[in-house]
Structure 1
Amino acid sequence: MEPRDIEGDLTEILIEEDQIRTRLAELCRLIEADYAGKDLLLVGVLKGAVMVMADLARELVHPITMDWMAVSSYGSGTQSSGVVRILKDLDTDLLGRNVLIVEDIIDSGLTLSWLLSNLKSRGPESVEICALLRKPDAARVDIDVKYLGFDIPNQFVVGYGLDFDERYRNLRSVGVLAPHIYS
């Protein structure tokens, strides 16, 4: 889906598709250098990270394996409380593995902080984070993100896996959703 297909639903495009692809390629070169000669497991966080995970995996020339987790955090309305429930756990044993969590966006950081702690408790060699987007102004906990695509303003964004009510995930860029859509 292109922005022109939903132009009335967006107030602006923050990041174009070509910018995303360029940045992911840069991140892949860093990942390949850091994990040269090592086994690497990418752990995608469903559903939002699907696009990032697919494009990251295709760009990497380093052999990888992939697995997926789905987690849900509960709170009031759109605010996360940090109380997390695993909806789909990994099929892979993490013992001794190098794990790279792949995320679409880091908002408050509460859910990711919980996930990081959970995965580290499973005995991996290492656990790092790769996120396409981060909202520094929304952070409630400090998360060390080793591979970051872009810092963005604290606005409601959709596209490239990010959704509102399961819509807009297939938008090829990242745009700010117009308030009349979600109000």
Structure 2
Amino acid sequence: MAAQGDDLIGDVLLSEAQIQERITELGAEIARDYAGKAPILVAVLKGAFIFMADLARAVDIPLEVDFMAVSSYGASTRSSGVVRIVKDLDIDLHDRHVIIVEDIVDSGLTLRYLRKTFESRGTASLEVCALLVREGNQQAELDLRYIGFRIPPAFVIGYGLDVAERYRNLPHIADYKGAE
């Protein structure tokens, strides 16, 4: 956990219990919707790794997991708008049912890039499960099948979300008071 007294950690927006309850609901929805299909959950690293671990355990059907790392933030608290693949997938997506697992959807530009990339690989179906949708910043059409929570346009940390690799280990989601 972050150091006690870290004055950059703001108010808790979502408690650990709230997050876990919603993930259980999302897992049940995915299991119902993909019964008999064995989907592939693709986590967008690094932020979504904690969410995907909990989500995968909440989905009570056979599934596979893979990871992709993309960069659009660097060490900043604002997206640069330029997306690049840092780590590509190991699993072939052709004719597979894929669920992109995102920690947070902000502008939607990274998600639009991922959708185009995955669709070009011949997926049988492609959906998105986002833990958070930050409202008010969308620059691309969002087509999200599974949404954990909608949050105001503040910069948040915890539960996998970071600032320059810090705060991912918070068990809850909080405002970040050091945002530009």
- TM normalised by structure 1 equals 0.92
CA distance in 2, matches of 1:12, 1:169: 16
- Cα drift, residue 10 of structure 1: 2.1
- Cα drift, residue 178 of structure 1: 1.4
* Residue number in structure 2 paired with 1:84: 83
- Is the alpha carbon distance of 1:6 and 1:177 closer, same or farther for their aligned partners in structure 2, counting shifts above 3 Å? farther
Letter in 1 for 2:11: E
Q: Matched residue of 2:84: which SS? A: strand
Pair 1:145 & 2:144 matched: yes
Q: Matched residue of 2:7: which SS? A: helix
* Residue number in structure 1 paired with 2:29: 30
Aligned-residue Cα RMSD (Å) equals 1.8
Letter in 2 for 1:135: R
* Residue number in structure 1 paired with 2:57: 58
Deviations 1:76-99 (A, max 9, x none): x64434332111000110010000
Pair 1:176 & 2:165 matched: no
CA distance in 2, matches of 1:117, 1:35: 22
CA contact (8 A) 1:81 1:110 kept: no
Deviations 1:3-51 (A, max 9, x none): x834532221000000000000001111011000112100000000011
CA distance in 1, matches of 2:58, 2:5: 28
CA distance in 1, matches of 2:172, 2:117: 31
Which segment is superposed worse, 138-147 or 100-109?
138-147
Q: Matched residue of 1:5: which SS? A: coil
* Residue number in structure 1 paired with 2:107: 108
- Cα drift, residue 158 of structure 1: 0.1
* Residue number in structure 2 paired with 1:118: 117
Q: Report how many aligned residue pairs link the two structures.
A: 179
CA contact (8 A) 2:108 2:139 kept: yes
Deviations 1:45-91 (A, max 9, x none): 0000011000001111111100000011279x644343321110001
Letter in 1 for 2:31: E
Consecutive unaligned residues of structure 1, counting only runs of 5 or more, are none
Pair 1:159 & 2:154 matched: no
CA distance in 2, matches of 1:175, 1:6: 14
Letter in 1 for 2:165: E
CA distance in 1, matches of 2:36, 2:162: 36
CA contact (8 A) 2:28 2:58 kept: no
CA distance in 1, matches of 2:177, 2:81: 27
- TM normalised by structure 2 equals 0.93
Consecutive unaligned residues of structure 2, counting only runs of 5 or more, are none
